[in-house]
Structure 1
Amino acid sequence: MSDDSTPPKALATRLISPATQRGKGRRPVNPPIERASTMLSDDPAQMTSSRDGPVYGLEGGSAARQLRSILADMEGAHDSLIVPSGLAAVTVPLTAILRAGDEVMCTDAVYGPTRRFLTRHMFERGIQTRFHPADASTDAIIDSLGDNTRVLLIEAPGSLTFEMVDMATLARACKERGIITIVDNTWGAGLAYRPLEHGIDISVQALTKYVGGHSDILMGAISVATKAMADTIFETIDDNGWHVSPDDAWLALRGIRTLPLRYRSQFQSAMKVVQWLEQQPQVSRVLYPPLPSFTHHELWNSQFDGAASLFGVVMKGGSRADAHRLMSGLSLFGMGYSWGGFESLVTYETPQLEQRLHQADLEGQLMRFHIGLEDTDDLIADLHRGLSAWPT
């Protein structure tokens, strides 16, 4: 019998404790990888019953089920569903919820592939999207919601330029209007921010990033507040066959065990790097919500408990060629997309801003950095070498 006076275990403990739970006999720490399409039964009358486990391989094996359970606990969700990519984590609930004549409202700083899905795939199916300015106030966003708005899609924070909004206030306003709220919580990773606790309906994240942690899988999670919404989204996943392989589920489960440690360590390293960058003559400003100098710092501080190690750097002037020279001058920062792995990365992002309807007012070229698990002094020395080629 459990002792109700015992306080809940910390999240870091809860991520690991399913692996060490007793009473299951001798077994490996992690569940086995079950590569199977056909699932056999002993009784023909039970072939279609899920009581004894999955009826077919698409339903997911032990690793997938444990991963979903841990994600739901981490996000404070009724259920968490997993899909083959972070992009699918966004597009699946939109597909499940929206119908012809509906409208989506979202930030102009939305993730590029999400914008493409909304303006191409959904538009062709009679669903409209309106983009509010990335730096719009919470009140302005609420005022812009229309009679046909069915979904408010929020980035936390906005892609590339890292704008913040008051998500709890937006969630309350949307509930009053019958609008469903979806937050891309990849940056918060279910650790620094738990959207469902603030009234958000659906929290999605790319498990490709921090949960995987090793830049070797593609996967997404959809965490929902209610059973009804979970059922609606699961039907769309099931009807389209958007399921995750057992090998990838196992890798994500392995990665989630060390997630709090990696996330915290990389945040601490990022803070050291951004504080150094703010002092450099080539840098106009750093776009990172934990910095007191950042425009939306107070919104971050009131909603988040920590931060990802991903940030933007607005340079003083410069050109595409200057950005490429800076990147080529770095030896410890890989040049590649995605983030959340153990390695530091750099990308040049000014061209992506051209997709926006409301252009960001930046003083120069926009670079994006992800800080990995390398020694921060080594990273800063590498950045010093790279910045030395920037025209001042």
Structure 2
Amino acid sequence: MSEGDNDSATDRLTTGLIHHRYQPPAGFGAVPPGVFKASTVIFKDTAALRARRWQDKTGYTYGLHGTPTTFTLEERIASLEGGRHTLLAPSGLAAIALVDLALLAAGDEVLLPANVYGPSRELARHELARLGVAHRLYDPLDATALADMIGPQTKLVWLEAAGSVTMEFPDLAGLVAACKARDVITALDNTWGAGIAFAPFDCGVDISMQALTKYASGGADVLMGSVTTRDDALHQRLKTTHMRLGLGVGANDAELVLRSLPSLVLRYTAQDAAARRLAAWWHGRSEVVQILHPAFEGAPGHAHWASACRAAAGLFSVVFDARYTQAQVDAFLDTLRLFKLGYSWAGPVSLVVPYDLTALRGTGAGAGQGMLVRFAIGLEAADDLIADCEQALPALTA
């Protein structure tokens, strides 16, 4: 065989490996959805290429705009939230940014709860401000005050239930009613509720956003967000911005969330129960002066939680007595064995994070008192978590 013949055989082999004649038979069925990875999507002919639309789920145009894997996850999240349409984003914060950028323009105003998720506030303070969008903070427990704040430039009101870190549960019904009376769009950060604690759209919100990083994933190994609506026109506004920003999620990440969804209710329920047990244990301790858990009487917004919710997440905070210094609280945290220091929540490992409420809030629950510690309960046995806290308490006074 000549050198030229050898090159020709190699070329045929290379081409054959790319354009192989084998096609697997249709009709394969299995418990997990298929994982489809693609940037390029193949069209059968030019007519199909010209007819295909990225605006809906009638077909596929490009990997960024959806594959069977991401479409399946979007539809399941929409069902979980009680919505009609869901968009996926690379993180919860990316989902928040999507809503802001789709609905706000120069001269507009967005209102944020005073206990808003910190990065959302920073997004408004810096990136939105550079675009000419103003923002103000409102008291989430005072619907009348919110109604008075809404003006002609107010185009979007963010809600959080429960509030970040300090866990106040807002007057959802009153806040939404105030916004609807003035034709202002409402967007709810529903990461805490996860579609389980309450039905967001039954509360009247226009948009429900989640950090799927948390409960939907449950494995502390995925970053993802979602934006869900019932309104077709609002969804198209969001989807157009979603496309222009080039937002997408990887198929393997979507696979991990799809794998976790069947156990979501079981995990949420177990973490809720364990968090209540641990919070009740702290309630009897003299070291703390306040328990910030919406399901506990005396917690800010408890009555609103009781009227709106059927469950609570595995998350709560405690405020230590002011006699304990930051160094002493830090020593307590460093002595914990099962609890790990780390941000996020809803994974299998229980987490703790300390906060200085005066710096974080200035006013409100816990502010002006002692150090606050947020507990995010994982899937360990509640008795073991209580024992871990108990063995670490002597470090407070060492």
TM-score (norm 1): 0.90
| Paired residue type of 1:249 | A
> 1:212 aligns to what SS in structure 2?
coil
Report how far residue 362 of structure 1 moved.
4.4
Q: Distance in 2 between matches of 1:359 and 1:140?
A: 15
| Paired residue type of 1:261 | L
Q: Distance in 1 between matches of 2:368 and 2:311?
A: 26
| Paired residue type of 1:334 | K
| Cα 1:122–1:217 shift into 2, 3 Å | same
Aligned residue number for residue 364 of structure 1? 370
Aligned residue number for residue 120 of structure 1? 126
1:76 to 76, 79, 82: 82
1:129 aligns with 2:131: no
Q: Among the aligned pairs, what percent are the same residue?
A: 38
| Cα 1:295–1:109 shift into 2, 3 Å | closer
Point out where structure 2 has 5 or more consecutive residues left out of the alignment: 1-25
Alignment of 1:24-103 (within 5 A): 25-48=27-50, 49-50=52-53, 53-103=59-109
Q: Distance in 2 between matches of 1:357 and 1:391?
A: 27
Alignment of 1:1-392 (within 5 A): 25-48=27-50, 49-50=52-53, 53-133=59-139, 136-317=141-322, 318-350=324-356, 353-356=358-361, 358=363, 360=365, 361-391=367-397
Q: Distance in 2 between matches of 1:99 and 1:355?
A: 28
Count, aligned residues: 367
Q: Distance in 1 between matches of 2:139 and 2:363?
A: 6
Report how far residue 359 of structure 1 moved.
5.6
Contact 1:309 1:370 in 2 (8 A): yes
1:317-353 Cα shifts (integer Å, max 9, x gaps): 12221121011110000111000111100001116x5
Contact 1:282 1:315 in 2 (8 A): yes
Report how far residue 364 of structure 1 moved.
0.8
Q: Distance in 2 between matches of 1:86 and 1:173?
A: 26
> 1:388 aligns to what SS in structure 2?
helix
Q: Distance in 2 between matches of 1:385 and 1:206?
A: 33
1:353-372 Cα shifts (integer Å, max 9, x gaps): 52446465342100000111
| Paired residue type of 2:33 | P
> 2:136 aligns to what SS in structure 1?
strand
Contact 2:116 2:163 in 1 (8 A): yes
1:115-136 Cα shifts (integer Å, max 9, x gaps): 11000000011110001245x4
Contact 1:96 1:236 in 2 (8 A): yes
Point out where structure 1 has 5 or more consecutive residues left out of the alignment: 1-23
Contact 2:214 2:345 in 1 (8 A): yes
Query: Which piece of structure 1 moves more, 60-69 or 265-274?
Result: 60-69
| Cα 1:358–1:126 shift into 2, 3 Å | farther
Report how far residue 144 of structure 1 moved.
2.0
Q: Distance in 2 between matches of 1:290 and 1:362?
A: 23
> 1:389 aligns to what SS in structure 2?
helix
Q: Distance in 1 between matches of 2:73 and 2:236?
A: 18
> 1:139 aligns to what SS in structure 2?
helix
Report how far residue 391 of structure 1 moved.
3.6
| Cα 1:169–1:359 shift into 2, 3 Å | closer
Report how far residue 193 of structure 1 moved.
1.9
Larger radius of gyration: 2
Let me know the Cα RMSD of the aligned residues.
1.7
> 1:35 aligns to what SS in structure 2?
coil
Query: Which piece of structure 1 moves more, 136-145 or 259-268?
Result: 136-145
TM-score (norm 2): 0.89
